[in-house]
């Protein structure tokens, strides 16, 4: 994935493992653990979710090593518009969530949450529409094609959607759905978790590509994929700490064109972070490198057993990032 991988011992010597408490349950968790690398070129973040096995998680480590050891790409812009991110909360919680994204004119709403119904999704989306003009939804592949068709109809009954993000799990399903609904389709997992991230293009399965730096192996790899995809790009967070958000902002800043708000405002989901939280101004975040606060690194340090778990995970992934 990257050339000239630094020695494992050097990476481990630079490792900090932190546990970030979250304001609300998101993606099934209330504490987000990540391993940070204090490298010669800056800070990198390795935050592959615990269920990801080394072959998949190794791309996340490659992204962290790129940030810690490689020069940054040239930015074309210094401010990035971001969307508000609304977890699968009750409608009465929506105003409090949106308050963490001042000035955001776009909101991404989580839908298809296990244990919830389409009626729950409609109520949440409509609650968001009362405050934000542009709404997109993210199903994380949770619907079949018939379910997604019904959802598209129900969720647009009271207003438009910018797009449906990953409504179904497979590229073939996205292509089938796209031929049957008028709502634009965005692909996320079908790109970042695919052996061939360009298959979405080959099958005409999406209108928008959602790209995430860490799962794709770093900023350079993400920009390479973006250059081969003839559709608008949305750079999004993988529930990153401030360090990872900084890399996402840099990636968005390096794109030749940026038509849509990016999903890089998720820092507001954390109670505490490793650096002072970035607060959107007029719905935008500024592009700059992030250096964690040493006091926060100490306060948020994961317990020793969890630090060891991440060390062993780095050991398992490190040999794979040259493959």
Nearest to 305 by CA among 19, 13, 12: 19
Distance, in Å, from the CA atom of 153 to the CA atom of 134, rounded to the nearest integer, reads 17
pLDDT in tens, 262-298: 999 988 889 999 999 888 999 999 999 899 999 999 9
Confidence of residue 230 (pLDDT cuts 50, 70, 90): confident
Residue 2: pLDDT band (50, 70, 90) is: low
**Over the stretch 193-225, which tens digit does the pLDDT of each residue have?**
777 888 999 999 999 999 999 999 999 999 999
Burial call 233-258: b when 16+ CB within 10 Å, e when fewer:
bbbbbbbbbbbbbbbbbbbbbbbeeb
For residues 74-83, give the mean pLDDT: 96
Long-range Cβ contact pairs of 149-152 (< 8 A, separation 24 or more): 149/177, 149/180, 149/181, 150/118, 151/111, 151/112, 151/118, 151/121, 152/181, 152/182, 152/183
Give the per-residue pLDDT at 1. 54
Mean pLDDT along residues 128-151 = 97
Task: Pick the closest to residue 279 from 291, 297, 262, 267 (CA basis).
Answer: 267
Q: Which residue in 108, 110, 182, 193 is the catalytic one?
A: 110
Calpha distance 267→40 (Å, rounded)? 25
Average confidence score pLDDT of the chain: 94
Say if residue 136's pLDDT is above 60.
yes
Helix (H, G, I), strand (E, B) or coil at 49: coil
182 an active-site residue? no
Q: With a cut of 80, say whether residue 306 has pLDDT above it.
A: yes
pLDDT at 206: 97
Q: pLDDT exceeding 70 applies to what percent of the chain? A: 99
**Catalytic (active site) residue 212:** yes
Domains of the chain plus CATH, in order, are 8-72+294-320 (3.30.390.10), 79-286 (3.20.20.120)
- List Cβ neighbours of 116 (8 Å cut-off, separation of 6 or more): 88
pLDDT in tens, 154-193: 999 999 999 999 999 999 999 999 999 999 999 998 888 7
Is 165 labeled as ligand-binding? Answer: yes
d(CA 58, CA 61): 5
């Amino acid at each position: 994935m990257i050339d000239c991988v630094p020695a494992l011992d050097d990476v481990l010597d630079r490792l900090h493992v932190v546990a970030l408490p979250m304001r609300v349950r998101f993606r099934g968790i209330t504490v987000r653990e990540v391993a940070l690398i204090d490298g010669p070129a800056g800070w990198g973040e390795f935050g592959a979710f615990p269920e990801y096995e080394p072959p998949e998680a190794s791309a996340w480590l490659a992204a962290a090593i790129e940030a810690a050891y490689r020069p940054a790409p040239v930015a074309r812009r210094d401010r990035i518009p971001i969307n508000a991110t609304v977890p699968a909360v009750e409608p009465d919680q929506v105003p409090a969530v949106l308050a963490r994204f001042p000035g955001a004119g776009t909101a991404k709403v989580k839908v298809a949450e296990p244990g919830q119904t389409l009626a729950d999704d409609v109520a949440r989306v409509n609650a968001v529409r009362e405050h934000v003009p542009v709404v997109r939804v993210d199903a994380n592949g949770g619907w079949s094609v018939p379910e997604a068709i019904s959802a598209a109809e129900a969720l647009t009954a009271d207003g438009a959607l910018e797009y449906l993000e990953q409504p179904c799990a497979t590229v073939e399903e996205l292509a089938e759905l796209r031929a049957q609904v008028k709502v634009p389709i965005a692909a996320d997992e079908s790109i970042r978790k695919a052996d061939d991230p360009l298959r979405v293009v080959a099958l005409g399965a999406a209108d928008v590509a959602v790209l995430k730096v860490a799962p794709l192996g770093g900023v350079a790899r993400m920009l390479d994929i973006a250059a081969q995809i003839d559709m608008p790009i949305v750079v999004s967070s993988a529930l990153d700490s401030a360090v990872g958000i900084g890399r996402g902002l840099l990636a968005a800043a390096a794109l030749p064109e940026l038509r849509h708000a990016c999903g890089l405002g998720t820092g507001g989901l954390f109670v505490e972070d490793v650096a002072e939280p970035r607060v959107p101004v007029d719905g935008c975040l500024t592009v700059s490198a992030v250096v964690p606060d040493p006091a926060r690194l100490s306060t948020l340090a994961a317990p020793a057993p969890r630090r060891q778990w991440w060390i062993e995970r780095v050991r398992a992934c490190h040999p794979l990032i040259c493959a």
